[in-house]
Amino acid sequence: NAGVTQTPKFRVLKTGQSMTLLCAQDMNHEYMYWYRQDPGMGLRLIHYSVGEGTTAKGEVPDGYNVSRLKKQNFLLGLESAAPSQTSVYFCASSYGGGNTAKNIQYFGAGTRLSVL
């Protein structure tokens, strides 16, 4: 099983450019998440989705947009990249919500983004 796959793995942008990060999961999970990881900050939730066609804001949503047009895919968009968005981005998915063992979050390998 591929699990959670993120593309691309690395990207360098210039300030003001736009791009989309793709997350795909093959576990038929309902819930998907986007996090960013910065040195000394742990992981912080950007946006998440509890099902196809739904999205919700997390802790640090400004400057990002997301879409969940298909259950298996969760896209993270940067419309006008800024140096403050230089980070490592992680996608995760889970079977559902609630605090049961089956709702563990599975993570992708991350995307390292640099904005110059």
Smallest gap from residue 14 Cβ to another protein (A): 24
Residue 19 or residue 50: which is nearer to another protein going by CB? 50
Q: How far, rounded to the nearest angstrom, does the alpha carbon of residue 104 sit from its chain's CA centroid? A: 16
Binding span for another protein by CB under 8 A among 13-21, 44-52, 65-73, 78-86: 44-52
Work out which of 5, 11, 58, 65 binds another protein, going by CB under 8 A: 58
| Coil, helix or strand at residue 6 | strand
Residue 24, φ and ψ in degrees, nearest 5: -130, 135
Smallest gap from residue 93 Cβ to another protein (A): 12
Interatomic CA distance for residues 90 and 46, integer angstroms = 10
Q: Which residues pair with 19 in a beta bridge?
A: 78
Work out which of 65, 71, 88, 95 binds another protein, going by CB under 8 A: 88
